[in-house]
Amino acid sequence: MRDADARLVERARAGEASAFEELVRRHLRAAYAVALAVLREPADAEDVCQDAFLTALERLEECRRPDRFAAWLLQIVRNRALNLRRAQTVRWALPLQDVVGVAGRHDTGHQAERSELRDRLLAAMEDLSEPQREALLLHDLEGWRHREVAAHLGVPESTARAYLFQARRRLRARLGAELMEEG
């Protein structure tokens, strides 16, 4: 994977569109997970991903280890997401459900149900710290290993496991309480 990334980076540096698209397809999900962990808003996470990929392309010569392109890219994603969050302090004063609810207004049937589940998960994730959210999304959504999550967060593997454990427990507690309230 890393060798392939290095080759793709080299070709993208030469302006090969297919190589850049392949890099996008390979790493967009992880980029999205990191952005979502910071921003907790899918549309914003998508915007940040687009912005981060373009920034990465413009600065591709600064990627000194093309075999570690993913780590470099996710750092850009995180920084961009943090910048956006800082700029959004007014917007974040609104409850998350209100913000997400506007986007899901035109959904119907299965989509609406899915959208509601998504909103609940996102709302429940507000209780988590940022590293907990990143650990949870990268592990449970993207299928990363503990070792990879730890490397990305820059913490020992035991700490990454602890983040994941706490995130799951809190999320279950929050979602479980909501379901009990409804029942």
Partner 1 sequence: MDEHPIDLSPLDPAADPDRWERLIESITKAAAPELARRAATRSVIAVIGHWLRPALAAGVVLAVAAGATLSLVQREAEVRPVPTTGLEEALELGEPVSLWLSENRAPTKSDLLLALEEAP
Residues that bind partner 1 (CB under 8 A): 12-17, 20-21, 24-25, 28-29, 32, 36, 42, 45-46, 49-50, 53-54, 57-58, 111, 114-115, 117-118, 121-122, 136-137, 139-141, 161, 164-165, 168-169, 171-172
Q: How near is the Cβ of 15 to partner 1 at its closest, in Å?
A: 3
Residue number, 64 or 110, with CB nearest to partner 1: 110
- CB-based contacts of 175, cutoff 8 Å, min separation 6: 120, 121, 124
Residue number, 2 or 172, with CB nearest to partner 1: 172
Residue number, 68 or 168, with CB nearest to partner 1: 168
Is the distance from CB of 33 to CB of 142 less than 8 angstroms?
yes
Q: How near is the Cβ of 92 to partner 1 at its closest, in Å?
A: 19
